[in-house]
Amino acid sequence: MSENSPQPMFCYVHPQRETLLRCNRCERPMCTACAVLTPTGYRCKECVRGQQKIFDTAQWWDYPLTIIVAGVLAYIGGFLARFLGFFTIFLAPVAGMIIAEAVRRVLRKRRARLIPPLAAGATMFGGLVSPVANLVLMVLFVSQGGVAGLYGLLWPAIYAVVAASTVFYRLKGISV
């Protein structure tokens, strides 16, 4: 054999797996199961995790603030959605955009991975408080209004779903 033949390398996580792949940041050998494709090449999971921590800038109080702001604004929007009827379909994304920008402004553009799902959940909850309360009252007093009253709960439910999805995607940074 020649002297310049490469020595076999083994994955640092799975020592039984032979590999020729190295992390482009820390140069540790890794198998294909441990490799994460990035725009600059393959990196190990630890290097990727370390890079992602830089982007989490939220403080502990940002999480309850997100829930309160999104929930209150969504409740107001859900209350107004009862009166808008069919136009709720067109105005719910606008309301979601307003809620997302209010959350972003209150947080002073700090970000974390949990902020978008928390804001979307609070938006869904805030938007559905009024219709669910009406549904409970309707079930208790079935004789007044009957099944036709359920139609009035449709638009606030559509508002909650559309606004919550808009809030999530707006805060996540995904543009469609």
Task: With a cut of 60, say whether residue 176 has pLDDT above it.
Answer: no
Q: What is the rounded CA–CA span in Å between residue 158 and residue 74?
A: 12
Query: Which residues, in sequence order, are CB contacts of 108 under 8 Å at separation 6+?
Result: none
Mind listing the pLDDT tens digit for each residue in 117-145?
999 999 999 999 988 888 888 777 765 55
Q: Is the pTM of this model over 0.75?
A: no
> What pLDDT is attached to residue 49?
81
> What pLDDT is attached to residue 128?
92
| Residue 39 burial (CB count, 10 A) | 4
Q: What is the mean pLDDT of the chain?
A: 86
Q: What percent of the chain has pLDDT over 90?
A: 45
> What pLDDT is attached to residue 163?
96
- In order, the DSSP letters of 29-68 are B--TTTEEEETTEEEEHHHHHHHHHTT----TTHHHHHHH
Residue 77's pLDDT band (cuts 50, 70, 90): very high
Residue 115's pLDDT band (cuts 50, 70, 90): very high
